[in-house]
Structures are given as structure tokens and as C-alpha cells.
Amino acid sequence: MHSYDVIVIGGGHAGTEAALASARAGAHTLLLTHSLETVGQMSCNPAIGGIGKGHLVREIDALGGAMARAADLAGIQWRTLNASKGPAVRATRAQADRVLYRQAIRGIVENQPNLSLFQQAVDDLVIEGDRVTGVITQSGLRFDARAVVLTAGTFLAGRIHVGLVNYPGGRAGDPPATTLAQRLRERPFAIDRLKTGTPPRIDGRSIDYTGLAEQPGDMPVPVFSFLGSAADHPRQVSCWITHTSERTHEIIRGGLDQSPMYAGVIEGVGPRYCPSIEDKVVRFADKASHQVFIEPEGLDTHEVYPNGISTSLPYEVQVALVRSIKGFENAHITRPGYAIEYDFFDPRGLKASLETKLVDGLFFAGQINGTTGYEEAAAQGLLAGLNAARQVQGREAWSPRRDQAYLGVLVDDLVTHGTTEPYRMFTSRAEYRLQLREDNADARLTPVGRELGVVDEARWSAFSRKAEAVERERARLQAVWATPGGALARELEQATGVSLSRECTALDLMKRPELDYSAIAALPSLAPGVDDAAVAEQVEIGVKYAGYLERQHDEIARSRRNEDTRLPEGFDYAGIPGLSAELQAKLAAVRPETIGQAQRIPGMTPAAISLLLVCLAKRR
Ligand code: FAD
């Protein structure tokens, strides 16, 4: 009764995707978490996606995960960021109703075959020899498993700070995982501290919106899931924008002596790209004002999330700083902002499968690997859960390559470089970002997901229908020739003013910057075209970026050999003649799984890689 293939500890973003992926892959799975009420809880701002993060959400969806579907059911304001830029960096962001999001995740988790839930804190892991064999809960219950995925988020030895007051906590209102953190510290894992923070929440009824800039969502309303539609979204609302003032900055500067960060009480490093307002005021001292987005927390609550003023200053200072902001003059704070410090594990202690190198069958995912963000956590969770299931089933681990997915970039960055600050995803982290677009995440990953057993029949047939429609439309336009002076050329000139100087196919017409799919498909000889915008988008991007994509394909093909050349697990780097002691030590510390990964270790030289290849060839 207490025995499972895979146990997942933690019902946050990593844990729910891990449990779902493991169960989808066919493993008998248990999700053990502090409280079933907080499954899928958003600890900080109620938003999913954004630049780089939206790409991860689409990839999770392409692999059958839950995040995009839940966001579609909970998104109350939608935007396409970078809409005027190229397709590689366009990203979807949804402001979510916190309650609806949690309900959606809980519903998906509860209805997943092969998956059971149990509410209880886990206090220890059972490790026999080098292998994890189960977990022990707070009340002494033992659950056996052949693999365990740990996704404890900010809870391991979590400590909450508000001003100079601090106390143990996993996040506001939740207990920390103190005993489990202690047990893990008794093992030889490399553990350090990070910190993150959140702003005070405000009762929206106490805000004066007069004179503030309204930010409605985009039209047409974006959608996250490849299986979703705008009809899935609840009622839409606006966000608002205000700004901090010189007065705000004065109040903050006056309170710095009571800031746990500036008084040296917090040791952990915080997220560079999501700094607290006190950090922004100190670091960008010449800026007279910072933007604050007023984001609704949901449809059935008055609470709002003032995005941009995360702080751990004392409550009294928070009240003063909030009330110095335009529109917030009479604001009532419903929850104070705070910072939280927590334990994380050096991700260089992980394989690309997210299994720990130290304990067989033990996988780590999410914030505990040094990342920040729901999307980064969920993506890792999916991978860890899938690989835990595969290991139990005697199958080889799977991890996407850097040219295949942002998930591949994320994992490779973490396991190769480690991190000294909370790691968040950006499109700039991907060298092949033209390949790794939000719009083609399904083409990149759904066929692989199908093979791995995590993509169900409904998703597979929807994907196959779309892929066939794209091919059909490409072939149709490829087969029509436009000749100067011919009927199609005349239609084109009449409709768009573009004149043709030489013969080309209707498909090739889209290579011209002034022409897009809708213009071509509207020409009488080519109408009506496809009515599915996602199909039209694939046809258009495929043509417009064909040259760049081909060049990137060639580059990827050249590096593939190194990515596919595996280094044996126990490889003895000390024995490589000619390799410097420094590089031997670096290789021994990272223990790369492929030559490609070895190449990305900072300081690695082409000469060292050649020595490695020679040594590898001799071993064979
Ligand atoms: P979590 O969402 O934290 O989930 C962990 C789960 O594990 C919880 O359900 C918990 O109850 C459970 N759990 C923990 N220990 C045990 C145990 N021993 N037994 C059973 N269950 C256990 N991200 C950003 O991108 N930007 C931000 O600005 C930002 N600010 C943040 C501010 C605060 C105060 C906090 C708390 C988080 C913030 N985050 C921010 C981070 C974001 O919340 C996390 O990245 C994300 O939630 C990580 O997901 P996770 O699944 O790894 O962990």
C-alpha cells in the first residue's frame, strides 16, 4: 500500500509537473506535499510567461504538461511581449487569477491516472547504500519508492525577513521544511543559500486610479496551450501603471539601516533581474522613478500585486513608501512584503537527467536547483518526473539538446556552470534562438514527447492535423507560379502595389518584407487560404526565415557530433597526458556527460578537447 514507483515531494510548479509527467509515462506515482490546498500555488506574482519563460511554458505544453492549460483557464490579462520584433523573441505573458490557476492545476493533478496525492510533510529520505528507496513523513509514515523527485522550492530551511525581524517559514503562511533540510545537510551535497522577495499586497479599493495609465490586454487575446483557445479564458481585466517618486526613494534610503539586506542579516544572493525596490534605488541612484505595474490578483478579490516594489524593509517603512506612490496615497496594505532565504543545491551535482550524481534514483527539480520562477521550476519538474519514471522502467534518460529546447539550455547551463544567483531564463541564453521559438515548440517537442509516452492521443492527433495542414498549404503555394505580367502578378500589384520582376512561386512571394501570408492568401487566385492562424504563421515564418534557419541548421549539424559523443561516467581525467591540472580539476568537478558539455566548461580550450577525444578513442 505504501510502495510506489516514483514519489514526488512538493506540490508546487516543479512537483506537479514532475508527478504528472511520471504518471503519464506510466509510473505508479505519489505526490506528497505539505497541503493539498496549496497544490499549484503561486508564491509570488500571479503571472505566467514572459520573455524566455513563455517559451518554456509552450515547451512544457508540447510535452503534455499542465502549465499552459492552467494558464489558459486562469489568464485574466494577456499580452504578447516583443510583438513588433522577430518571432524568436516574441513571448506570451498571462496575468492569472491566483485561485483559478490553483484550481486548474489541482483539477489536472486529481484527474491524472496513475497518480495519488497525500498531504504530509516529508522529513527524511531513506537511502540504502547509494540509492534512495523511500521517504519518511513528519508523522513517521514510510513510503517506499524506486525513485524520488525532490521539489521543495523555497521551503528548505526557509527564513522570512521583514525588516530586522526574521523567523522560519517556507513562504508567507506556510511552514518551512526544517527537518528535511537538516537531514540533507548531513549528506555530502553542496548546499548554499539564496534569497528572493515579494512586494506588499494592496487592497485595490484603497487605490485612486485617476490619472494612472491603464494597460488592457492585447487583441486578439493570446493563448498558451497548443490545445487551447481564447474561449477557455475567463473574463478579461486591465492592469495599471504607476511610478515611484523622489519621495519614495528618500523614504527607502532613510530605511536602509533597517533593511536585512543592507544590514548584512541576509547572506543569500537575490535575483538580479527581479531586484527589490531598495536594491533598485541603491544601484540606480540616478533614476528619479521606477515603473510599478498594478496587477489584479484575481476576479473575485480586491487585492492587487504592485509589481516592481518587492521589499523586505520594515512594515512601517513599507507603508510610507507605498503611500508616496501616485494613486497609493491612501493605500491599505493587506500583506506586507518580505524576503525569504532558503537552501539550494549546487546544480553541478546533477546529471542532465536531473538525477543527483550522489544518490541513485534521487532527482532534484525547481527552485532547489538555484533557479527562480514558476516556468523554470515546472520545466525542470517535467524532465525530472519523466526521467524518474524512465529509470524505474529500465529506460535510458532523456534530456533535450540546447538546439532543441529552452529546457535543454536551462538544464545544460545549470549542470555545466552551476549558479551563484537565482537563475532565470532569457532568450539571450539560447545560441539557437531562431530555432527555439514559442510558435514551433510543438514541432520541436511533441513528436519526441509522443515517443517518450507523455503526449496523449488527443494532443498527438491535434498536432498531426496541424503539421499536415502546414505541409499541405506550403505545397499548394509552392505549386503556383507567379510570372511577371501574368494574372497572379496583376492581382498582386493591384492589391498590394508590389510589382514582380521575375518568376517565382506563390510561396516565395512571402520572402519579400512587404508581403505576408494574409496578403498572399487574399489574392483571388490563391484565396481562401487556411483559416487557422497558427498554420498560417508556420507557413509564413518557414519562408521568411528560411535562409537564417538553414544556416543555423548547418551550425547545429556541425556541433551535433560533439553533443552525441558521450563521456563514460567514471572517466579518469587525472590520467590524460598533457591536460593541465586546472582543467583536469574542472572536468572532474563537472563530470560532463558529452564532449559538447565539456566544451562549455568555462576555460576549456580546443586543445584540451582534442586531448580528451584522443584519450576517448584509445579507450574504445
Ligand atoms: P514551490 O512553488 O515553492 O513549491 C514547493 C512545494 O513543496 C510546496 O508545495 C511546499 O509545500 C512543498 N514542500 C516543501 N517542502 C516539503 C516537504 N518537506 N514535504 C512536503 N512538501 C514540501 N519567482 C520569480 O520568478 N520572480 C520573483 O520575483 C519571485 N519572487 C518570489 C518571492 C517569494 C517570497 C517567494 C516565496 C517566491 C518567489 N519566486 C519568484 C519564486 C517562485 O515562487 C518559485 O520560483 C517557484 O514557486 C518555484 O517552484 P517550485 O515548485 O520549485 O517550489
Which of 248-262, 495-509, 536-550, 567-581 has the weakest average pLDDT? Answer: 567-581
State the closest ligand 1 atom to the C-alpha of 338, by its place in the atom list counted from 1: 34
State the closest ligand 1 atom to the C-alpha of 11, by its place in the atom list counted from 1: 9
Burial class (CB in 10 A: 0-12, 13-18, 19+), 303: middle
How far is residue 167's CA from residue 532's CA, in Å, rounded to a whole number? 54
How far is residue 274's CA from residue 82's CA, in Å, rounded to a whole number? 19
Query: Which residue has a Cα nearest atom 22 of ligand 1?
Result: 10
- Give me the half-sphere count of Cα atoms (radius 13 Å) on the Cβ side of residue 576: 24
Q: Which of 8, 67, 149, 154 to mutate to test the pocket of ligand 1 (most atoms within 8 A of CB)?
A: 154
Whether the complex's predicted ipTM is more than 0.95 is answered with yes
- Is 472 annotated as belonging to a binding site? no
CA of 375 to the centre of ligand 1 (A): 11
Burial class (CB in 10 A: 0-12, 13-18, 19+), 245: middle
Please give the DSSP secondary-structure letter assigned to residue 217.
P
Q: Which of 44, 183, 184 to mutate to test the pocket of ligand 1 (most atoms within 8 A of CB)?
A: 44
CA of 535 to the centre of ligand 1 (A): 37
Q: What angle do CA 390, 385, 94 make, to 5 degrees?
A: 140
Tell me the per-residue pLDDT of 435-494, one tens digit each, with 9 for 90 and over. 999 999 999 999 999 999 999 999 999 999 999 999 999 999 999 999 999 999 999 999
In 3-state terms, what secondary structure has residue 93? strand
CA of 218 to the centre of ligand 1 (A): 29
For residue 360, what pLDDT is reported? 98
- Is 379 annotated as belonging to a binding site? no
CA of 178 to the centre of ligand 1 (A): 15
- Is 13 annotated as belonging to a binding site? yes
The single-letter code of the amino acid at 33 is T
Contacts of 412 (CB under 8 A, 6+ apart): 352, 402, 597, 600
In 3-state terms, what secondary structure has residue 214? strand
How far is residue 192's CA from residue 189's CA, in Å, rounded to a whole number? 10
Average pLDDT over residues 519-541: 96
> Across the strands, what pairs with 3?
144
Closest listed residue to residue 517, CA positions, set 538, 547, 486, 497: 538
Dihedral, CA of residue 614, residue 575, residue 130 and residue 593, to nearest 10 = -30
What grid cell was written down for 477? 503555394
Q: Are 289 and 243 in contact (CB under 8 A)?
A: yes
Q: Is the pLDDT of residue 219 over 80?
A: yes
- Is 86 annotated as belonging to a binding site? no
CA of 408 to the centre of ligand 1 (A): 22
CA of 12 to the centre of ligand 1 (A): 6
Query: Which residue has a Cα nearest atom 10 of ligand 1?
Result: 10
Q: Does 528 sit behind a cis peptide bond, omega within 30 degrees of 0 on the bond before it?
A: yes
- Is 12 annotated as belonging to a binding site? yes
For residue 164, what pLDDT is reported? 95
How far is residue 415's CA from residue 347's CA, in Å, rounded to a whole number? 5
- Is 79 annotated as belonging to a binding site? no
How far is residue 342's CA from residue 12's CA, in Å, rounded to a whole number? 15
pLDDT band at residue 1, thresholds of 50, 70 and 90? low
How far is residue 476's CA from residue 84's CA, in Å, rounded to a whole number? 29
Query: Which residue has a Cα nearest atom 53 of ligand 1?
Result: 153
Strands (E), 190-307: 191-198, 201-203, 213-215, 239-243, 291-296, 303-307
Radius of gyration of the chain (CA): 26
CA of 155 to the centre of ligand 1 (A): 7
Q: Which of 155, 193, 269, 380 to mutate to test the pocket of ligand 1 (most atoms within 8 A of CB)?
A: 155
* Ramachandran quadrant class, 296 (left: phi over 0; alpha: psi -120 to 50; beta: rest): beta
Q: Which of 17, 124, 150, 151 to mutate to test the pocket of ligand 1 (most atoms within 8 A of CB)?
A: 151
Tell me the per-residue pLDDT of 171-197, one tens digit each, with 9 for 90 and over. 999 999 999 999 999 999 999 999 999
**To which residue does cell 493591384 refer?**
494
- Is 374 annotated as belonging to a binding site? no
Q: What percentage of residues in the chain have a pLDDT greater than 90?
A: 91
Query: Which residue has a Cα nearest atom 43 of ligand 1?
Result: 43
**To which residue does cell 566544451 refer?**
599
- Is 272 annotated as belonging to a binding site? yes
- Reported residue count of the chain is 620
Average pLDDT over residues 6-14: 98
Q: Is the pLDDT of residue 581 over 70?
A: yes
- Is 282 annotated as belonging to a binding site? yes
* Phi (first) and psi of residue 567, to 5 degrees: -100, 130
Closest listed residue to residue 562, CA positions, set 508, 604, 524: 604
- Is 270 annotated as belonging to a binding site? yes
For residue 570, what pLDDT is reported? 86
Closest listed residue to residue 176, CA positions, set 153, 200, 201: 153
Closest listed residue to residue 193, CA positions, set 337, 339, 307, 53: 339
Q: What angle do CA 298, 100, 220 make, to 5 degrees?
A: 75
* Phi (first) and psi of residue 545, to 5 degrees: -110, 15
Which residues have any ligand 1 atom within 6 Å of their CB?
A: 9-15, 32-34, 38, 43-44, 121-122, 151-155, 170-171, 174, 177, 180, 196-198, 274, 340, 366-367, 372-374, 377
How far is residue 434's CA from residue 429's CA, in Å, rounded to a whole number? 12
Q: Which of 42, 276, 344, 367 to mutate to test the pocket of ligand 1 (most atoms within 8 A of CB)?
A: 367
Measured over all CA atoms, what is the biggest interatomic distance in the chain, rounded to whole angstroms? 84
* Phi (first) and psi of residue 341, to 5 degrees: -105, 145
Contacts for 603-608: CB closer than 8 Å, 24+ residues apart: 608/579, 608/580, 608/583
Instruction: Kindly state the helix (H) or strand (E) to which residue 587 belongs, with its residue range.
Output: helix 581-590
Strands (E), 46-121: 47-49, 75-81, 91-96, 115-119
How far is residue 152's CA from residue 135's CA, in Å, rounded to a whole number? 14
How far is residue 274's CA from residue 220's CA, in Å, rounded to a whole number? 29
Average pLDDT over residues 47-71: 98
Would you say the C-alpha torsion 543, 546, 549, 554 has a positive or negative sign?
Answer: positive
Q: Is the pLDDT of residue 274 over 90?
A: no
Q: Are 363 and 375 in contact (CB under 8 A)?
A: no
The single-letter code of the amino acid at 231 is A
Query: Which residue has a Cα nearest atom 29 of ligand 1?
Result: 44
Mean pLDDT, rounded, of the chain: 96
Would you say the C-alpha torsion 460, 461, 463, 467 has a positive or negative sign?
Answer: positive
**To which residue does cell 511610478 refer?**
243
- Helix orientation angle between 374-392 and 67-74, rounded to the nearest 10 degrees: 140
CA of 42 to the centre of ligand 1 (A): 8
pTM of the prediction?
0.95
Closest listed residue to residue 507, CA positions, set 530, 533, 486, 526: 526
- Is 357 annotated as belonging to a binding site? no
Q: What angle do CA 122, 60, 297 make, to 5 degrees?
A: 75
pLDDT band at residue 403, thresholds of 50, 70 and 90? very high
CA of 367 to the centre of ligand 1 (A): 7
